[in-house]
């Protein structure tokens, strides 16, 4: 782990041994994957110091140097704050993971929409004295519940975006599907594109984007002809799990858009677990999202066993 400390507006990191000889530029560009525009802004505004002095970005670092970044500046919020009691799974000065309830958008889809999860996170931060420009790193469908990751400042947003692109943020889902799957484990590797005949639906399409879903059977209910499965994604396409499972003949229970029957009032899908290394400290973060309003068979699974 890398030692870090907050000092007012400044975030301080103790340079680890394996950064010995790196320049500050290399740390930002190659280790933290910050974009050029962001690096330029930090340089021009003198928001990076080394051992308390204005930083020379091309100076080689030594182990135990103190790298300081002015990250905790109050800025105008990019969202209208909206109060809702949130189930926060993990939070620190840089990021937070929230357990999203059903029937709530991840982010506003129009200027008039102010009751999304992102708006509620903005309220949460403001209530604890953090005026920040938050960013959702990924999204869940309106009726899908579970863990969503947010960044509290631009640098963390860029770092997490890079990790997501490199598949370094692992997400595990629980899904209840129609039918009894014969395979204990499997992989669905089929491209997904828009359905030209429907404004919101997606479909498996040869011209679509590459998409890979892994699944594992957890429980079968022979009487109800349903199967509870665990899924993980190598890609994050819109409606990916819903489209893939429907395509192989096992649509999600409650997913009327893709052929599911309304024995549950929404698609039975929950983002139950998220795992990643903290970009600053390299600490392993494992978040389990408690069940909020799931079918009873979900309650038979301990999220901590997944």
Query: In this model, does residue 78 exceed pLDDT 90?
Result: no
pTM of the complete model: 0.94
* The pLDDT of residue 77 is above 90: no
Q: How far apart are CA 111 and CA 102, in angstroms?
A: 21
Same-domain check for residues 62 and 23: yes
Q: Is the dihedral of CA 49, 50, 55, 58 positive or negative?
A: negative
Q: Are 146 and 100 in contact (CB under 8 A)?
A: yes
Q: Which of 65, 74, 115, 141 is catalytic?
A: 141
Average pLDDT value for residue range 65-87: 93
Is 206 in the same domain as 131? no
List the CATH number of the domain containing 9: 3.10.290.10
Overall average pLDDT of the 212-235 stretch = 96
Please choose, from the candidates 192, 229, 196, the residue with its C-alpha nearest in 3D space to the C-alpha of residue 212. Answer: 192
Q: Please give the share of the chain, as a percent, with pLDDT higher than 90.
A: 90
Over residues 72-81, mean pLDDT: 89
200: domain range?
172-270
Decide if pLDDT at 229 tops 90: yes
Our answer to whether residue 293 is catalytic in this structure is no
Q: Is residue 298 part of a domain?
A: no
* Residues sharing a CB contact under 8 Å with residue 231, sequence separation 6 or more, in sequence order: 172, 173, 174, 175, 213, 214, 215, 216, 241
Cα(21)–Cα(38) distance, rounded to whole angstroms? 23
Task: State which of 123, 148, 166 marks the end of a domain.
Answer: 166
The enclosing domain of 140 has a CATH number of: 3.30.2350.10
Confidence (pLDDT) at 293: 83
Q: How many domains does the chain have?
A: 3
Q: What is the pLDDT of residue 206?
A: 94
Q: What is the pLDDT of residue 303?
A: 86
Does 220 reside within a domain? yes
- pLDDT at site 76: 85
Note whether 177 and 263 are same-domain residues: yes
Average pLDDT, the chain: 95
pLDDT > 90? residue 254 = yes
Pair 174, 296: CB distance under 8 Å: no
Q: Do residue 162 and residue 177 come from a single domain?
A: no
Residue 301 in any domain: the answer is no
Residues 103 and 47 in one domain: no
Asked if the structure places residue 290 within a domain, the reply is no
Is residue 41 one of the residues assigned to a domain? yes
Angular region, 291: left φ>0, alpha ψ -120 to 50, beta rest:
beta
User: CB within 8 A of 68, min separation 6: which ones?
Assistant: 7, 10, 11, 12, 13, 48, 49, 50, 52
Summarised one tens digit per residue, pLDDT across range 37-58 is 999 999 999 999 999 999 999 9
Strand 145-151 relative to strand 226-233, pairing: unpaired
Q: Is 192 left (phi over 0), alpha (psi -120 to 50) or beta?
A: beta
Q: Is the pLDDT of residue 236 over 90?
A: no
Reported as a single tens digit per residue, the pLDDT across 1-16 is 999 999 999 999 999 9
275 belongs to a structural domain: no
Residue ending a domain, among 70, 87, 120, is 70
Share of the chain above pLDDT 70, in %: 100
Output the pLDDT for position 75: 87
Backbone dihedral angles phi then psi of residue 234, each to the nearest 5 degrees? -90, -15
User: Could you give the CA distance from residue 22 to residue 120 in angstroms, rounded to a whole number?
Assistant: 40
| Pair (91, 138) in one structural domain | yes
Which of 134, 166, 198 is a domain's end point?
166
3-state SS assignment for residue 73: coil
Which pLDDT tens digit goes with each residue over 141-167? 999 999 999 999 999 999 999 999 999
d(CA 172, CA 305): 12
Residue 156 lies in a domain: yes
Asked if residue 250 is part of any domain, the answer here is yes
Cα separation, 145 vs 86, whole angstroms: 13
Position 95 pLDDT exceeds 90:
yes
């Amino acid at each position: 782990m890398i030692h870090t400390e907050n000092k007012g507006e400044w975030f301080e990191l103790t340079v680890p041994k394996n950064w010995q000889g790196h320049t500050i530029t290399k740390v930002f560009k190659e280790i933290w994957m910050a974009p050029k525009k962001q690096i330029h802004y930090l340089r021009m505004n003198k928001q990076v110091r080394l051992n308390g002095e204005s930083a020379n970005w091309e100076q080689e670092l030594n182990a135990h140097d103190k790298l300081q970044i002015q990250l905790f500046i109050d800025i105008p919020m990019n969202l209208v704050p909206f109060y809702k009691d949130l189930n926060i799974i993990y939070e620190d000065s840089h990021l937070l993971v929230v357990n999203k309830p059903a029937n709530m958008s991840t982010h506003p889809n129009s200027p008039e929409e102010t009751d999304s999860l992102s708006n509620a996170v903005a309220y949460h931060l403001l209530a604890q004295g953090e005026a920040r420009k938050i960013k959702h790193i990924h999204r869940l469908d309106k009726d899908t519940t579970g863990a969503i990751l947010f960044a509290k400042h631009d640098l963390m947003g860029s770092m997490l975006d890079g990790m997501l692109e490199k598949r370094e943020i692992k997400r595990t889902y629980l899904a209840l599907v129609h039918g009894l799957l014969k395979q204990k484990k499997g992989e669905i590797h089929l491209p997904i594109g828009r359905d030209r005949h429907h404004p919101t639906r997606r479909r498996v399409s040869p011209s679509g984007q590459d998409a890979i879903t892994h699944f594992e059977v957890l429980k079968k209910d022979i009487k109800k002809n349903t199967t509870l499965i665990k899924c993980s994604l190598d890609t994050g396409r819109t409606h990916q799990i819903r489209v893939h499972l429907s395509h192989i003949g096992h649509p999600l229970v409650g997913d009327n858009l893709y052929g599911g029957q309304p024995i549950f009032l929404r698609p039975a899908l929950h983002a139950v677990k998220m795992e990643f290394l903290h970009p600053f400290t390299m600490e392993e973060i494992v978040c389990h999202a408690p069940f909020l309003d799931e079918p009873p068979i979900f309650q038979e699974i301990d999220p901590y066993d997944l």
